[in-house]
Structure 1
Amino acid sequence: MNGGLPVQVYAAGSLREALTEVARAQGGAVALTFGAAGLLRERIERGEPAQVFASADLRQPQRLAEQGGWTAPVVFTRNSLCALVAPSVHTSPAELLDTLLDPAVRVGTSTPLCDPSGDYAWTLFAQADAVHDGARAQLEAKALQLTGAPDSPKAPDGRSTYAWVMQQGHADVFLTYRTNAIAARAECPSLQVVALPEALHVGADYGVSCREDAPPPARAWLSALLSGPVQRILASHGFEKP
């Protein structure tokens, strides 16, 4: 048992809606802490009491495992990058790279190293070089790192970060997870969700780990993430099977 204390689950912000629903469905005592995965990993390293860590990549939990005291991460779900586009911008998957390179179009991303979403955006920029020579340098130079850092502006409570950023007019196109874009569009239907063309496709493997000395309820919470009922909840929020 866990002495009646809640299981401490630290999870990537893109999992907020899905894991909140999972927690309601699972029952039991659980405390959910959400944020950019890189920042959460740093908080855990500084001694915060996480027992389960669900990251939007494998690198962050793998770093904990390499330092000792955490299990090797396993992939429990997948996501993919897409473009969240302001209503004033007209584009399509085939036109998206030209849109991103347009000097008049402000491109928003999350912050690399702090948030895996930003790292995935930089992966997209690297892939763009194979399609348009020099695209990587242009995109890295113009990208606005608007979310995921410790000092990033925070959306009001209850608001989608990405819908709020777009409605505030901070970007014309924001590269983010498909699940984030779906949630933002549900809040602000005028926003567009544009898929990436095949040449720019970037998938995201989500990894989960737990402390090696975690109590049985924490280990059960990790195992539940791979179960059919939880996988169906994740799928309902736009995630893909591992």
Structure 2
Amino acid sequence: MGRFPAKIDYENIRNARISENQARLASLGLQKTISELRSLTTPVKSPKRKYVKSDFGSVPLRRSSRLKQLNPSSPGGLIPTRRFLQLPLDSPVKSPNGKDGEEKERRPANAPFVDVRRCHSPDVSSERRCMSKGRGSIYDPVFGICCHFCRQKKLCGEEDCKRCNDLDVDQPCLGKTDCSVCHSSNGVLCRACLKVRYGEEMEEVRNNKQWKCPHCIEEEGSKPYWICNSSLCLKRRKMAPTGIAIFRAREMGYDSVAHLMMDELQRRGLKI
């Protein structure tokens, strides 16, 4: 009970001291100075600008000085503007020989985009990287065909291939596959990758005019769990690349890496 009077005395002394200090500041005129300083240091908020939507439809379009020049030969006396003329989808496509009405054939996956006979230099090619007949031994940036799996742009090692031996782009490459459905780069595989990764022989694929690449087989659904096991396609599926898995596949009795992956996906029950 003795603590409350001491606390009350302390509060009374504190309040008296505060009143004494305020009276002293008022007599010296410092209270007004403090308020003025606070008003100076307080940032003044700028008024919020009202957004006004511009009506560009009523504003006349700006024209260049070239278009303002008069041209008596053109209708209206102005120089006509140049526009890109796009052919309609049903218009005939000119053939390379210049005749109209003939539709251009679909470019195969192993055909070059440019006229390589004009831009090819003999000094660029003839870079021998390996002696593999399956993938090809000579790297050529123009005539070489890139494999979808190993991505080696080389001339094939087939003896009867006129395209890679004679550099005749009008002939098909015997050492690279071509899908009969998509005719895209996904179906271009060399002999070694076709055998190791998918368990198929080049001679059988060459004789089969209805051969389909793993991408087209997956789309039609004829082989469940049959997918392309290239590193590019596996990364798109957020799957780790298999690397050199052919040795493990052969030890387990599989013909290729694709057959090993097909059984593993089926066993795990993963959806493709």
Q: TM-score, normalised by structure 1?
A: 0.21
Q: TM-score, normalised by structure 2?
A: 0.19
Q: Indicate the structure (1 or 2) with the bigger Cα radius of gyration.
A: 2
Kindly indicate whether structure 1 or structure 2 has the higher relative contact order, using CA contacts under 8 Å at least 6 residues apart: 1
More strand per residue: 1 or 2? 1
